[in-house]
Every structure is written in C-alpha cells, then in structure tokens.
Structure 1
Amino acid sequence: MIQTALLKKQRIFFYSLLGLILATITISLGTGYSSLSYDRLFAAFAGQGTFKEEFVLYSIRLPRILITLLAGMALALAGAILQSITRNDLADPGIIGINSGAGVAIAVFFLYVPVDAGSFVYVLPAVAFAGAMVTALLIYAFSYNKRTGLQPVRLVLIGIGFSMALSGIMIVLISSAEREKVDFIANWLAGNIWGTDWPFILAILPWLLVLIPFTLYKANRLNMLNLSEPVAVGLGVSIERERLVLLMTAVALAAAAVSVTGGIAFIGLMAPHIAKSLVGPRHQMFLPLAILIGGWLLLIADTFGRNLLEPSGIPAGIMAALIGAPYFIFLLLKK
C-alpha cells in the first residue's frame, strides 16, 4: 500500500516537472538562429504570423522540440528498466553499448542498403532495434554466470568494452564511405538531433505509446526484480523470462530514440536517479517522474547547445555528456 502523503508528493513533483517542461518549450520556441519575439510567437500559433514566422515555428522549432522531448523520455525509461533488471545503478543504454549497437546497424543500413526516401524514416527505428537487440543479448550472455547469475559490475565493464569495439567498427565504416554519408554518421555519433521533421515524430511515437504503458504495467515486476534472485523466485517471478521481455522493451525504447537523435548517453543514467531521490525506489512512484525528467534534461541540453554556438550549435549529445560524465563518476565513486 502506497502512503497517501507519498502519492501527494509524487503529484506535486509531476505537475512541477510538467510546468518546467512547458516553460523550457516556450523558451526554446523563441530562441535560436532565427529568433521569434514571444508576442509574435503567440500570433504565429494563432495563425496570424508571417510566412517566415510560421515556417520557423511549425517546420523547424516545434518538430525538433517534440522529437527531443520524446527521445529523452524513451532514454530515461530505458535506463530505469536496465538499472532494475541488472540491479546496477550505473546501467544506461549509452554507457553499456546498446546505443552503439543501434548506431552500427543504422550506419550499415544507411551506407549499403538502397531504400526509398519516404520509407527510410519509418524503417530506421526497426533497424536500430535489430542492432541494439543483438548487442544487448551478447552483453547479457557474456555477463551471465550459471552459478552466480547476472553480475552487475561485469555487465557494465563488458558493455563499455562492446561500446568501444562498436565505435571502432563505426570508424572503419566511415573511412570507406562517401563524404556526404560520412557527415550524417559523424552527426549521429555526436548526438546531433537530426530527425527534425514531422515524419520522424510519427516514426517514434507509436513505439512510446505502446512501450511506456507496458512498462508502467510491469512496475511491480520491476520492484521484484530489484530484489535478490532467491527472494524474487520465492515471490513467484520467472526471472529469466521477465528479464528478457523487459530487456527487449528497454532496447526498443533506446533504439527508437537514438534512431532520430543520434548517440546520446547519460540521460538514461541521470533521470532515474533523480526521480528516485525525489519519491523513493518504488517503480510505480518514480517511473512517471523519470520519464518527465529525461525529456526535460534532453530538451535543456538541446536548447542550450543550439544557442551557445550559432548557427550550427553544440550537439545535444555533447551537452548531455558534459552534464552526465561528472555524474557518472560521482555514482561510480559512491557505489
């Protein structure tokens, strides 16, 4: 039974985070290389703006903001799932190599598979999922021991090794590619939000509409998997089956996100920890907050990044790493 006071606390944080997201969206809409004054911004929303104002708002700013927000939410939820099923607070799709697996699959697909431009957007998340899933299963297999089960520290170390190896493969692919294709892969590696058109939102949104409710439904199972294996088995949990299903869910969320945003790490690491510090470790309580925090963190990173150096800006992945790397070191020392 969840205490009423804790539920009230969660609601306060939930609505506060929604307010922060709306405030950040408003700031992000009005700032950038082609800035819009806020009185003209609201006029453009009402359909009374000039062609340029409505073009900047609806064709450039708004789709980028929505993509960033959705991707941040997906990465945060993926990180929360991975931390729970591995019982490792340092697990994150970017750190343990899942994003790199998705990246290699995207690079191979982009370089060597001819595909119609119209369907490219919608095929990309599935390609990223396939690459990320193969990587995740290999990491899981190398980290698992028949006698001791899944070893959390071993998983992080093997994941980092896979991430470095896959980065090397990506460099080999880049060295043999054409210039314009190299630019795309380099932007992906830096975590530059590149999927900034409405079709990309339609490509990623179905994944989130299915997987977020499914994960929230599985919150109690995640609570049990966070316990020691003998206790979880005693409670009637089929550990390996639940881990595999939830691993696939985390991989699908991460792959959908990075297929349109590039290789972004640390969002999935930070958001669950911040949420747990607010309302505790119970998944029913912290998962909704982690989702909002992840979206807000990536939105902040992208908003600051594209306004620091105009016109090209700093990729959101680099901005997230500048914040997340010290946090990762702090957690590593603390644990």
Structure 2
Amino acid sequence: MPAAPAVDPERAQRLARETLAIEASAVAALAGRVDDRFADAVRRMFACTGRVVVMGMGKSGHIGRKIAATLASTGTPAMFVHPAEASHGDLGMITAHDLVLAISNSGESEELTAILPLIKRMGVPLVALTGRAASTLGRHADVVLDTSVDKEACPHNLAPTASTTAQLALGDALAVSLLDARGFRADDFARSHPGGALGRKLLTHVGDVMRRGEAVPRVVPEAPLMDLMREISAKGLGMSAIVDGERAVGVFTDGDLRRLIERAGSGADLRALSAREVMHAGPRTVREDALAVEAAELMEAHSITSLLVVDAAGRLVGALNSNDLMRAKVI
C-alpha cells in the first residue's frame, strides 16, 4: 500500500465545501418529492397501534437506529431490528400491530429482501425509504418514499454519504410530522428526556430542591438583630425570613446587614434594633409547585440569590438559593 500523501489544506477545504454542497442539494431535492405518499406514510405510522420497527443494513442501519431513537423520543413508539438478526429469531419481535420502516438506498440488501415476504405475510404495513422505487424493497412496500440522490459526496461515488444524509433528513421529516399530529409538547419531550437539561428544567419543581423545616432560617419580628444575624450565619443561606405565625412578613440578607452598618457608621450600637425594624417587608417568594427554572428566572430578574418558598395558601414552607439550583443542574 503506497504511503498516504500529506494533507493539502486547500484541497481539504475545497472537498469539504463540495461535500456540504452535494449533501445540501440532496436534502433540498427531497422537498420536491413530498407528496401524498409522504402523507400516507405519516397516516399509517400515526395509526400504528404497536411500534414502528425500523430496519436497515450497513450505513442505512446506522441511520435507521437514529431515526428509531428520534421517533421514540417524540411520541412514536419505535425500535430498530437488524435485518440479519431478524432472519435468526429477531423477526419474532415484530407483531401484526407494528409497522416496518425499511431503509435501503439500493433496495436490494440481501438480508433485508430475504425477510420482506415474511413481513408481508404477517400483514404488517411496510414503508420504504429507498433510492430505487423499482427495487425489490420498493415492489414489496405499501408506501415508497424516494431518497435517491444524483451522486454521493464521495469522490469515487461509492461511500454512502449524500444518500444517508437524505435518509436521515426524511426520517426527521416523518418524526416532526408525527409529533405535530400527536400534539406532542415540550413537557412531553421532557418526560422522555428526564436526564437531559430540558428534562431538568421542565420536570424539576421548587419543592424538589428547596430546603425545609429547621434548615429554613426564620425569626419573629420582635427578635433582636443579634438573633437575626446568628440565624443567618447558622443556616448558611445568606438571609433569613421574618415570620409572623406561618407567614413571611419580611426578609433580611447579608447585604442588608452590610448596608445597615455602613449607614450607621463606626461605633454605632445596633443591638437594640429588632428584626421588624431592619427587614424588607413583602419579600419576594415563589410557590413550591412552581418550576425550579421559574425560581432561577425570578432571581435573575431581581438580582437576588435567595428566595422564600410558600405554599398555595401563602404559608412559608421552604427556602432556596442559587447554589441549590446549580446543584440540581437547573442553572
């Protein structure tokens, strides 16, 4: 094997631009083929009471796995079944309630065409993504979606590049049409992605991350300033609620203490002051059933780092600060 030539930066950049142009053209061409057949495919997939079973060999199989994952995460139950494994028992994964979405650029992948008669015998609807409507796959399919390309981005027109990009794009188009038909919302997406950033933002409530009980700093309005300072220091939230019964009537923070000392000047004796005299009345609060991201937005909007948490009746039930939200990865 001859030694590989050194990378020519200009050639590499030119080939990159050509690749992107070829693949962009392949995807753009798909828009002109979106017709009643596409709508029929969406209708059949929407009506499927089982799962959309995605199948494909080689690079088409890799694209199929991604399409199955996208469908499943956007409200359409789906799974990938490898055609070769299907011939050795995995065909049993497919039921009469399912729909098969088969992907093959040539439409002649042996492992796939070998099981097509069995799929049809089961009465399972078959949707094909193929570059050749007259292929074996195309002839067996109930609906054929044309993913043909003028040429691959590969300089030798061999490696699946533009064709797999077209398959992926059309698979995304199916998924988006289906999620719209199902009325799939952002909170539905979050429920299928609980470990992701969006899931945390849409599923994490203030009550999940707030501090409760004895961890919430609080004093009565008549408490001396020294008691208020000790409560702030002990609870580590940088502030304390001033409570009258079960309701927070005020708040006092570390920043308020610094400003109070600056205004009073050196040598001033502040010990005679009460919590009521130094507190900010009408503190900002957030409901415990609010999303944690709403608490973060409230803190940012008012340039504060802590919030008191109240229940539906306005009673103080907790407190949280920006560190609590960061630990929960909400911010």
Between structure 1 and structure 2, the one with the greater Rg is 2
Please say whether Structure 1 and Structure 2 have the same fold, judged by a TM-score greater than 0.5: no
| TM-score with structure 1 setting the length | 0.23
Query: Normalized per residue, which structure has more strand?
Result: 2
Calculate the TM-score normalised by the size of structure 2.
0.23
More helix by share: 1
Higher-RCO chain (CA-CA 8 Å, sequence separation at least 6)? 1
